[in-house]
Amino acid sequence: MSNEAELLPGTLDLLILKAVSLGPLHGYGVLLRIGQISGQALLIEQGALYPALFRLVRQGVLKASWGRSENNRRAKFYELTSTGRKRLREETDGWNRLAAAIASALAAQPQEI
Amino acid sequence: MKFLAHLRSLAARFFHRSQTEDEIEEELRSHIQHRVEDLERSGLDHDKAERGARIEFGSTERFKEECREELGGNFIDSVIQDFRFSFRTLRKSPAFFAVAVVTLALGIGATVAAFSVVNAVLLRPYGFSQPERLLWIYSQRPDNARTNFSLPEYCDYRDQNTSFDGLGAIASYNVSLSDLGQTERVQGVRMSANAFEILGLRPLLGRALSAADDRNGAPAVVMISYGLWSGRYGKDQAIVGRSVNLNGESREIVGVLPSSFALPNLDTDIVVPLQPDSDPRRNARNSVNFLRMVGRLKTQVTAPQAHAELDSIRQNLHRQFPDTYTGKVGITIVPLTEEIVTNVRAVLLTIFCAAGAVFLIGCTNLAGISLSRAGARQRELAVRTALGATRSQLTRLLLVESFILAMIGGSLGLLLEIWGQAFLLRLVPTDLPRIATFSIDSKVFIFAFFVTLVATLVCGLAPAWLLSRSDLRDALVSGGRGSSGGGMQSRLRTWLVAGQIALALVLLANAGLLFRSFARLSSEQPGFDSSNLLTVRFSLPGVTYPDRAAIVQFYEKLQPQLAKLPGIGSVALVSILPLAPKSISFIHFTRPDRPPGKPEDTPSTNYRIVGPDYFRAMGIPLFAGRYFTEEDDGNRPPVAIVSTVLANNHFPDRSPIGQRVLIDDTDGNPRPVEIVGVVGPVKQTNLETPAKADIYLPLRQIPKDGVPFLRNSTYWVLKTSPGAPAIEPLLRAAIRNVDANVAVGDVRPMTEVMAAALASRRFSLLLVGSFAGAALFLAAAGLYAVISYGIQQRTQEIGVRLALGATHGSILGMIFKEGSLLLGTGIAAGLAIALVVAKFVANQMYGVSEHDPFSFLVVSLLLAAISLLACWIAARRALNVDPVVALRAE
């Protein structure tokens, strides 16, 4: 359990965008992909994925279409729109800045002050 | 982009609800089945895999709900659900439902009714094009800023000015109208035919008058009002082209005026062309002043510039004709649409504000009740929160509830207004312009809807606000009693009630001031005795009554006929009845031995032509000299009777009896008359202004120029003995006997004429008074509710106190202390507001100051008494508390 981390609020959307940016996915696929790219470190409540997907579709950053999954089941596939790609770039930059700032803050030593 | 996507998803959701529902279902199911397959692949058997997948997924119902919410369309579902739920809740508390709906229906009904009158009179467009450029113009005299122009004067202004796109002239014109065997007195205007073009007025039917109608020898035409068309002619679409008889002259109806049409202080039953240039007075410089003017400003010209130009024309005329234009010291220029409503605006707005205040008090009352209900429902709401309802969902629920109440109340209020319209019209004084064609239009509906929304917000937001401030988890723990929200709630309610009391006091104070003014005015002595006095007005056809001899002959035939009627004391004729609406007649006069220093200082006096018995019939006392007799005719030297006001002002040095004054009542030079009597002062135009100077002339000596005026309008007054039978039919028959072509107007007792003079005040007093009464009741009810709610919350505490030996008196004292604090705050605030707003009603006061301490004191005491009574009724319940029961109440 020690290598699992709770998601920070607001980061689920970013992870979904990233996962989908690597190729169109259905909902369960998004879940697997996030597990795969995060090294199984992030814990996601499975059902919570869907309200997030619906929200992103409504915001126009994802588009959805019905298709066939690899095990030949009907499934709804999500892919990024151009707004979505832009949003992903912006949020990635934002996240990196935030992470760098926090990392630098946490690395501060008494003599540096 | 986002917005479009949102709309699309909303639309998809709305139009394909079951389809989306299925899709969500299918998507989630697909997820779980994928998971099940993965788990099976890792070695679990099917049942275990299925159970595991479901547990990992979490509550499908919750996520489905969240998905729906993300789609947006969910809002509609939830609101529908809220509506269903609210209806159930309201059905469970019928008493609250009834109180709320009735309060709202009355409040909204009253406000909408007041608005519909304001709309009909003040807001409705007049049908003029660009009305803001239309000006109404009077001649200004030293003692009166609103007097008339003579015909040559009008023509000079019309021809010389460069500020107006046209200048029209208007005179009042009261005639008898007959066709289809019916004769009726109608009150209309003669208007220079260019005036329609100036006003930019479109006729409802037919055509408007045009410049051609003013040409010499143009066919005789007339336009009729909407009122006349719908009343007398039953909205006959084929009315145009029909001929009617006006004062014995045949005229063709060419058009019908729109219902929105009105002119300042003039009735417009009919409009005929003035034909100023072919009028015999066209060049008679000294002729009578009977015209008002209306002009349309040119686009580049401002009203002050136009005023300056007209004034310089006036000064030129003054230099040219110094004798004729002596008293004409200026020009009064006012926006036309303002002048039409100038006398009624303040009254109507007062009434409207009063209705609005009652509505607000009603709403706050309901807000108070819903606050208590929210307090009582805190447990229910807390459970809902615990089950996952968000605060915004709860607020929505409360708003939906108050919306339902407001919609039902508002619809009932609107229905009430529609049903009550006829009653309202009977109540409204007839001198409100355009009120006769009042109707409920779309603006009234929009206003009603707006008021309903306000009611929703006021009643629903208070409990919602309370909710946002209180911790509902406390409510669960403490069982809904003594929670932090309870304190907040009762504080909020207390403020609401104090506010209600303040508003009620403002209304009561206003009603009190209006009542005092009304009482003062009603007790004013008009200068005559109105008891057992009957009045009738009629006009004589011009063709058969061309001169004084004909009128005198008519008088001589009618007088004995009327005197013969049963129960009649004295009978007399008068040119204008005291307090008759919209009738003015005055002249200038001089005392030959004291000519005025400057021509414009020439004094003026009311001018009345009377029969010999007039003063006896009216009970106007004779102070010196004699009354007129039948011998004061054309063969004897002209005589006059003056009032004490004129005598005191102009003959302070000697008795006026036997003195001569020069009166200017003809188109020629002033003529001398000898004063033979002095009578008491009479309030001729209204009860408010003190009596002015009066001069009376005998009928048999009227000058030639006075004939048309007397022909257009004559009153008879008949003094009857007390308890005399109704003689109206006999009276009408007697007049018909003498001449069937005479148009007889209303037969009215003089007391009714006096009541009409007070009608507009009675109207506002009645309305503001009943609104104040309603406010008083609502505020007292609010206080009662808040006090009894407090007692109910503290039953246990009271029980303990009683058990520990507190007397009934001390408990009562405790409750009363709270009530009086509330009351005191409310009254103090109300007095402060009332003193400030008093200046807006100052011009409706008569004989009392708008800060009249007596009125303020009385209404404060009244409010305090009623409120304390409400307190006492509530407190009695506290005393009935049995300590044992109260302690067990837990």
ipTM: 0.87
What pLDDT was estimated at residue B107? 87
> Which residues span the domain enclosing A63?
11-108
In whole angstroms, give the CA distance from residue B198 to residue B496.
53
Tokens of B796: 């246990």
Say if residue B886's pLDDT is above 80. Answer: no
- Taking residues B4-27, what's their average pLDDT? 67
In whole angstroms, give the CA distance from residue B76 to residue B816.
48
Flag whether residue A83 sits within 8 Å of chain B, measured between CB atoms. yes
Flag whether residue A71 sits within 8 Å of chain B, measured between CB atoms. yes
Residue B255, strand partner residues: B206, B223
Residue B533 lies in a domain: no
In whole angstroms, give the CA distance from residue B357 to residue B322.
56
| Shortest Cα–Cα distance, B770 to chain A (Å) | 56
What pLDDT was estimated at residue B831? 93
C-alpha pair distances (Å), B397 with each of B90, B92, B469, B482, B772: 12, 16, 17, 24, 34
In whole angstroms, give the CA distance from residue A46 to residue B32.
9
Say if residue B681's pLDDT is above 60. Answer: yes
Residues B744-781 pLDDT 10s: 888 888 988 888 888 888 888 888 898 899 889 888 88
If one compares B12 and A37, the residue with the highest pLDDT of the two is A37
What's the total number of domains in chain A? 1
Enclosing H/E stretch for B293: strand B289-297
Cβ atoms of B359 and B108 within 8 Å: the answer is yes
- Taking residues B487-516, what's their average pLDDT? 86
Residue B532 lies in a domain: no
Looking from the CA of B94 toward its CB, the CA atoms found within 13 Å total 0
- Overall pTM surpassing 0.80 (yes/no): no
In whole angstroms, give the CA distance from residue B631 to residue B58.
115
- Taking residues B235-245, what's their average pLDDT? 90
In whole angstroms, give the CA distance from residue B578 to residue B597.
32
Cβ atoms of B407 and B86 within 8 Å: the answer is no
User: Which residue is it, tokens 């002619």?
Assistant: B233
What pLDDT was estimated at residue B7? 62
Residue B377 lies in a domain: yes
Residues A8-59 pLDDT 10s: 667 888 889 999 998 888 888 898 888 888 888 877 788 888 888 888 888 8
Do B240 and B217 belong together in one domain? yes
If one compares B762 and B673, the residue with the highest pLDDT of the two is B673
What pLDDT was estimated at residue B482? 44
Do B403 and B511 belong together in one domain? no
Average confidence score pLDDT of chain B = 84
- Taking residues B216-241, what's their average pLDDT? 89
Residue A56 lies in a domain: yes
Residues from chain B contacting residue A59 (CB–CB below 8 Å): 2, 5-6
Which of B9, B34, B62 minimises the CB distance to A58?
B9
| Shortest Cα–Cα distance, A79 to chain B (Å) | 15
C-alpha pair distances (Å), B761 with each of B519, B677, B685: 10, 36, 15
Pairing of strands B568-574, B289-297: unpaired
Pairing of strands B743-749, B586-590: unpaired
What pLDDT was estimated at residue B57? 83
Residue A1 lies in a domain: no
Q: What residue of B is the nearest CA neighbor of A76?
A: B27
Which of A28, A45, A55 minimises the CB distance to B35?
A28
What pLDDT was estimated at residue B833? 92
> Which residues span the domain enclosing B267?
143-328
The alpha carbon torsion through B534, B535, B541, B546 (nearest 10 deg) reads 100
Among candidate residues B670, B705, B740, the one where a domain is terminated: B740
- Taking residues B702-719, what's their average pLDDT? 85
- Flag if A28 and B31 touch (Cβ within 8 Å): yes
Flag whether residue A58 sits within 8 Å of chain B, measured between CB atoms. yes
Percent of chain B with pLDDT over 70: 91
Residues B618-671 pLDDT 10s: 999 999 999 999 889 888 999 999 999 999 999 998 899 999 999 988 877 889
What pLDDT was estimated at residue B483? 42
Do B313 and B252 belong together in one domain? yes
Flag whether residue A72 sits within 8 Å of chain B, measured between CB atoms. no
Do B585 and B712 belong together in one domain? yes
Residue B831 lies in a domain: yes
Residue B882 lies in a domain: yes
Do B321 and B381 belong together in one domain? no
Among candidate residues B328, B360, B383, the one where a domain is terminated: B328
Say if residue B481's pLDDT is above 50. Answer: no
What pLDDT was estimated at residue B599? 67
What pLDDT was estimated at residue A1? 39
Taking every pair of Cα atoms in chain B, the longest distance, rounded to a whole number of angstroms, is 139
Do B382 and B520 belong together in one domain? no
Flag whether residue A55 sits within 8 Å of chain B, measured between CB atoms. yes
Lowest mean pLDDT among B141-145, B370-374, B644-648: B370-374
Say if residue B248's pLDDT is above 60. Answer: yes
Do B510 and B571 belong together in one domain? no
Residue A5 lies in a domain: no
Q: What residue of A is the nearest CA neighbor of B30?
A: A75
If one compares B84 and B310, the residue with the highest pLDDT of the two is B310
- Taking residues B529-538, what's their average pLDDT? 90
Best of A16, A30, A54, A80 to substitute, by most chain B Cβ atoms within 10 angstroms, is A54
Dihedral sign from CA coordinates of B433, B439, B441, B444: positive
What's the total number of domains in chain B? 5
What pLDDT was estimated at residue B9? 61
Do B644 and B731 belong together in one domain? yes
Do B174 and B322 belong together in one domain? yes
| Shortest Cα–Cα distance, B8 to chain A (Å) | 9
Residue A2 lies in a domain: no
End-to-end CA distance of chain A: 36
Q: What residue of A is the nearest CA neighbor of B4?
A: A60
Residue B863 lies in a domain: yes
Do B693 and B673 belong together in one domain? yes
What pLDDT was estimated at residue B249? 84
Cβ atoms of B359 and B111 within 8 Å: the answer is yes
| Shortest Cα–Cα distance, A53 to chain B (Å) | 9
Q: The domain spanning residue A87 has which CATH number? A: 1.10.10.10
Q: How confident is the model at residue B480 (pLDDT cuts 50, 70, 90)?
A: very low
In whole angstroms, give the CA distance from residue B786 to residue B871.
9
Q: How confident is the model at residue B484 (pLDDT cuts 50, 70, 90)?
A: very low
Among candidate residues B296, B328, B360, the one where a domain is terminated: B328
In whole angstroms, give the CA distance from residue B578 to residue A95.
90
Do B66 and B91 belong together in one domain? no
Do B458 and B586 belong together in one domain? no
- Flag if A50 and B67 touch (Cβ within 8 Å): yes
In whole angstroms, give the CA distance from residue A46 to residue B38.
14
